[in-house]
Amino acid sequence: MPEWYSHPFFLLLPTAFFTLAIFSFLYKDNPMFKLAEHVFAGLSAGYYFGLIWQSVIRQQVWMPLTQDGQWSVLIPGVLGLLMFARFFPRIGWTTRLPLAFVIGSTAGIMFIQQLHGMVLPQVGRTLLPLDSLRNILIIVGVLTTLIYFYFSKPHTGTLGWIASVGIGFIMVAFGAHFGYTVMARVSLLIGRVQFLLVDWLGVAR
Amino acid sequence: MHGTAAMDVSGKSFWERLQSVDRRILYTLIFASVIIPILWPLHLPTPVTPESRAFFNAVDSLPSGSVVLFPFDFWPSTLPETEPMAVAGLRHCFRKNLRVVGLSNVGMGGPSIADRLLDSIGSEFHKTYGVDYVNLGYKANYSAVLLGMGSKIADIYPADHRGTRLDSIPLMRQVPNYDSVKFVLIVSDNAMTDYWVALVNARYGLPMVAGVTAIMAPKMLSYIQSHQLLGLLGGMKGAAEYEQLIDHSDKASRGMDAQSLIHFLIIAFIILGNFGFFMLRREQSQKGQN
């Protein structure tokens, strides 16, 4: 390999090209942006196919079957193949079997997950003693926010006043989310500029 | 600045123009705010939050040799936020002589990123693949993966990302299931953190910390409060704080000058826009009275 080719500028040239091609959309839609978009979609599909082939079909079906004699893997294997039966109208109905299994097992797991892992611990940690300003704020915030979402009675009088306190807490939450969202988006820009100036051009450290 | 005196050729008053600044001006200012501090660092301070310190303390208190499960649950699109966290996390783990079992529930790029980072940071600390760290790679269906590993990891991962059978890997022979895992260090840009908390922490009681993208951070704070997570890193700032704590400044710390500058700029524009709005309203009400 020639020496100039191993320089980061040339090694990272394709990455830099596609970065700039994506940024060119800020000016307006153009063929370079379209090219980058299509290459990304194609690469992603190819990568994912290879990964699933190697990690799932080969490692979780073929290897246990041929090396360990685990015939039981044929059951999920066949169920997986039945997902493609919808392409053949005569046996299309068999697709319902794996779908029923997926929906049933997912519903069961999610029910337990939400109740045991989310609702109960979160409710448990909201039942706090009113012995500090922090605890009082948490309890007032939770109750007033919940009351804001109670729509069976008009929000007037005391209920309206409590709901408006809830709106205040919701607004604070929105503000925090907005601030963090700005930070996330800006981070992505910083990352790309760091790549262009530091990794590719080497004009900064 | 009031009334006709402040009108430009388009007939707009100063306050009206303040509320409709050309987006190309904003783009240019934001771009300049990113480039300038990268070329000439300002070294603005980044105070450490209690959540980041708790994250550091949780990892730091683990005994040497402990097995840490390290999910690389992020897409390449969020690398500026998540990669510094993963790098700092690995440095911390390897410096403490913790053994790292990497995996990814994100198919698109996740296992390759895990491979690259584990190898590069592992070599920094002269660690050996298969003894000090391993990359299990990706398997489809996160709920089956997370719950199945509680019974037998080899059932879910018959081989690692490189295709080596798990029973041939010295580290994995000692880690049959979650019973041998001391800790989980999640780096994630999606709902996987929720699943680790709700499926693994709730059911198996495994202590865990999470480094997440900034967008996810406010929601994750509720897990800190409920002690389902022991510590939290939020976005690039969280990563920069962690870099400070492990005393190894890297990409996140270098990006924080630009981050602070852009936030100043956005705050300034929000204040100016609102000021313009109220001044215009006052101007219009005065005109109405006349």
Q: What is the pLDDT along chain A (205 residues), one digit of tens a residue?
A: 567 778 888 999 999 999 999 999 988 899 999 999 999 999 999 999 999 999 989 999 999 999 989 999 999 999 999 999 999 999 999 999 999 999 999 999 989 888 998 999 999 989 889 999 999 999 999 999 999 999 898 989 999 999 999 999 999 999 999 999 999 999 999 999 999 999 999 998 7
**B213 lies within 8 A of chain A by CB:** yes
Please write the tens of the pLDDT for every residue from B175-200: 999 999 999 999 999 999 999 999 99
Contacts 24+ apart (CB under 8 A), A185-188: A186/B30, A186/B34, A186/B258, A186/B259, A186/B262, A186/B263, A187/B80, A187/B81, A187/B213, A187/B214, A187/B235, A187/B236, A187/B255, A187/B259, A188/B77, A188/B78, A188/B80, A188/B81
Q: Two tokens at B196? A: 């680790």
Q: Report the number of distinct structural domains present in chain A.
A: 2
**B48 lies within 8 A of chain A by CB:** no
Band (B17; pLDDT cuts 50, 70, 90): confident
**A51 lies within 8 A of chain B by CB:** yes
The dihedral of CA B158, B162, B166, B172: what is its sign? negative
Question: Given an 8 Å threshold on Cβ–Cβ distance, is B157 in contact with A56?
Answer: no
Residue A51 has its nearest CB partner, among B138, B157, B259, at B138
Note whether residue A186 is domain-resident.
Answer: yes
Q: What is the ipTM of this complex?
A: 0.87
Smallest CA–CA distance, residue A56 to chain B, in Å, is 6
Note whether residue A88 is domain-resident.
Answer: no
The dihedral of CA B258, B261, B266, B267: what is its sign? positive
Range of the domain at A160: 131-205
Residues of B in contact with A177 (CB under 8 A): 215, 218
Question: Given an 8 Å threshold on Cβ–Cβ distance, is B108 in contact with A198?
Answer: no
DSSP letters of B94-151? Answer: HHTT-EEEEEES-TTTHHHHHHHHHHHHHHHTT--BTTTEEEEEE-S-HHHHHHHHHH
Question: Given an 8 Å threshold on Cβ–Cβ distance, is B259 in contact with A183?
Answer: yes
Which residue ranges form the domains of chain B, and what is each CATH number?
A: 3-36+255-289 (no CATH), 50-249 (3.40.50.10160)
Residues of B in contact with A191 (CB under 8 A): 79-81, 251, 255
Residues of B in contact with A192 (CB under 8 A): 80
Q: Which of A69, A84, A116 is the last residue of a domain?
A: A69
Task: Let me know if A93 is exposed, middle or buried by CB neighbors in 10 A (0-12, 13-18, 19+).
Answer: exposed
Stretch 70-129 of chain A: residues touching chain B, C-beta under 8 Å = 106, 109-110, 113-114, 116-118, 121-122, 124-125
Q: Which of A69, A98, A119 is the last residue of a domain?
A: A69
Q: Which of A26, A43, A69 is the last residue of a domain?
A: A69
Residue B245 to residue B237: CA distance in whole angstroms: 12
Nearest chain A Cα to B106, which residue? A48
Residue B182 to residue B193: CA distance in whole angstroms: 17
Q: Two tokens at B269? A: 């524009």
pLDDT score, position B290: 67
Residue B105 to residue B75: CA distance in whole angstroms: 10
Residues of A in contact with B159 (CB under 8 A): 59, 63
Residues of A in contact with B109 (CB under 8 A): 47
pLDDT score, position B9: 58
